[in-house]
Amino acid sequence: MFHPGTELLIDYWRGLPRRGPAPARADVDPGCFAALAPRAFTAALEAGEPTFRLAGEQLIELHGRALAGEPVSQTWRLIHRRRLAGLVCAALASGEPLVLAAEAWTGAHRVRLEVLFAPLTSRAGAVDRCLGLYQLTAGVWAGPIGELAITGAFGVADPPTPTSSHLRLAAVDGLRIA
């Protein structure tokens, strides 16, 4: 169960007409979720990386800078950027929303958030953009915050990474050694 604000935007997204694997960006009406709009954003794949197109005023305040044109990954810790890109691309490929549990620090205070990525279809028919939301779940909404860290992912499975290793068993003359 997510925060009611996150649930509200997911329900809005699910109610949009579909002409393919995901609702069309052109069908999104921010007036239908006006109370959430200051924390909402849109992002599109540019050179294979999700990039902010629009960001609400509270996101700009939270990060301490304008976000339009900036890769979404730049708001996340370096160690989480590859996972973020993989998860967002998996959400776009599946046409299903992704909710990331995240945390960041503002001064000496920790904030916890849910960050929603709900896939959208472009005019060209590609699922290459998303409607998003930052929803505070703990702490005080004050910025600027440091980079976000992923603490959980819900909606799509983590894609395997090329650097991940799997335990393999080895045997010599029938004796298991590793």
35: nearest Cα among 16, 60, 9, 17 = 9
User: 89 - beta bridge partners?
Assistant: none
Which residue reads 């002409």 in tokens? 19
- Which of 176, 102, 174, 90 is CA-nearest to residue 139? 102
Give the pLDDT confidence score for residue 101 in this predicted structure. Answer: 97
pLDDT in the model for residue 20: 85
Q: Mapped to the 3 state alphabet, what secondary structure does 12-58 carry?
A: HHHHCCECCCCEEHHHCCHHHHCCCHHHEEEEEEECCEEEEEEECHH
Which structural domain, as residue segments, surrounds residue 157? Answer: 4-176
Across the chain, how many H-helices and E-strands are there? 3, 8
For position 18, which CATH number holds?
Answer: 3.30.450.20
**Do residues 21 and 39 make contact, with C-beta atoms less than 8 angstroms apart?**
no
Q: What is the pLDDT of residue 168?
A: 46
pLDDT value for 140: 84
pLDDT given for residue 164 in this prediction: 45
Task: Give mean pLDDT in consecutive 10-residue pieces for the chain, a chain of 178 residues.
Answer: 94 92 94 96 94 96 94 96 94 95 89 96 94 94 88 79 47 55
The pLDDT value given to residue 142: 78
Q: Are 9 and 40 in contact (CB under 8 A)?
A: yes
Which pLDDT does position 3 carry in this prediction? 94
φ/ψ region of 94 (left if φ > 0, alpha if ψ in -120 to 50, else beta) reads alpha
- Measured between its terminal Cα atoms, the distance across the chain in Å is 41
Structural domains counted in the chain:
1
d(CA 138, CA 19): 37
